[in-house]
A and B are shown apart, each in its own frame.
Chain A
């Protein structure tokens, strides 16, 4: 396989529209991504057209295959399969040369073509095994549906492994970095009255927590707290605000800040059912005066700093229990190189 051909037919060059892309499953994608040379059998057992049908029996039986290419002087001249063999058997004609029974109009595929090309050829011709040739029309392998299945499975397993490694790396982020205090900050700008996209930031936060290895319970607690806080920014603020999550090995700090209009009476705002939300928020299922109450029940500590005409700062904190910690704390243990 020369580099130029691989580049020319490389994976990046495949034209696929957005519409197509939505419909394509990973397996379909692989049938375009994988090249025939990646999945074909390279070990080819070929016969000469002068050999007898009895030789065919021996080869197929010993190698446990159902057909073989016929090559004379390095050139592919035909294909012989079990069906041809059966015809010879019914005629009781095993001593005849292969030439008499082989299929001569050989359909081949090119090694650099995508696997889907072989699949199409299988379907179109009803042939179960195809000789594979290279750019110089030399026989380089054979491909069957079984080869494709195996190739796709191997590729999927590789995908899976790469994903696992990625997950592992993220999960051990805190272990891999040595500092006196490591934290990861996620920051989102929330627009006022953006009900359609409301919750998107929280959704990203929850996903990030799970990716970092948080327990389902912890991710859920954080998700609910920041979701309510995010909706508050959308419902109440004049200019929107900032949602910030600081993930540390031993705690999660979540904070929203905005520049108004402020809460005149914070104690009142903390009462269940007390709300100043407009109808628009209520029609979205929010604004029932339960937001801060909900947040409080999800976090270990909640503080609000606000006042009429001022901005509001909402601080939420969850202390991680031992089983929830993102890593065994390195504080106090050996720090290499220091």
Chain B
């Protein structure tokens, strides 16, 4: 699914359009705990999160997350937007909640990019 389609599905607003590239994104991950993201997300995912601080951007950078959707109308700070722009990570803000957005994207054909935890990695 193209990032532009994802933005449409989540009714999102792009906060740093300068780095917006219409990537093909095949998976998503939803989490508020950054350790969970680091533990389960596969490279190249779109991250949906209710957490809104600079560590979300850092986590995305470390875990090769392609784009971040902030839920429930959370507004990232200038520092977060600048950092994300520097790291070429598009930030998207949506007024909808986690359950609804994960559902919408999943129904639209976006795969889960969360690894099942069974004590081992990959």
- Give chain A's interface residues, CB within 8 Å of chain B: 195-196, 198-200, 202-203, 206, 216-217, 220, 223-224, 227-228, 231, 283-288, 290-291, 293-294, 297-298
Contact = CB atoms under 8 A, between A and B. Distances in A.
Contacts of B120: 297
- Choose among A199, A283, A287 the residue with the greatest number of B CB atoms under 10 Å from its CB: A199
B63 A220 contact: yes
Given A199-B58, A294-B39, A298-B121, A284 B53 contact: yes
Interface of B: 32-39, 43, 51, 53-56, 58-59, 61-64, 79, 87, 120-121
A27 to B, nearest CB: 14
Contact of B38 (A196, A200, A224): A224
28 contacts: A195-B54, A196-B54, A199-B54, A199-B55, A199-B58, A199-B59, A199-B61, A202-B62, A203-B87, A206-B62, A216-B43, A216-B64, A220-B43, A220-B62, A220-B64, A223-B61, A224-B63, A228-B35, A283-B53, A284-B34, A284-B53, A285-B32, A285-B35, A285-B56, A286-B35, A288-B33, A290-B38, A297-B120
The DSSP consensus for interface residues of chain B is: helix
Given A195-B55, A202-B58, A288 B64 contact: no
B99 to A, nearest CB: 19
Contacts of A293: 39
B89 to A, nearest CB: 12
- Secondary structure at the A interface, as helix, strand, loop or mixed, is helix
A223 B34 CA distance: 14
A192 B10 CA distance: 38
Contacts of A285: 32-35, 37, 51, 53, 55-56, 59
Given A198-B58, A206-B61, A286-B55, 16 more contacts: A195-B54, A196-B79, A198-B54, A199-B58, A202-B62, A217-B43, A220-B62, A220-B64, A285-B51, A285-B53, A285-B59, A287-B35, A288-B36, A290-B39, A294-B38, A298-B121
| Of A198, A224, A286, A288, most B-chain CB atoms within 10 Å | A224
A202 B38 CA distance: 13
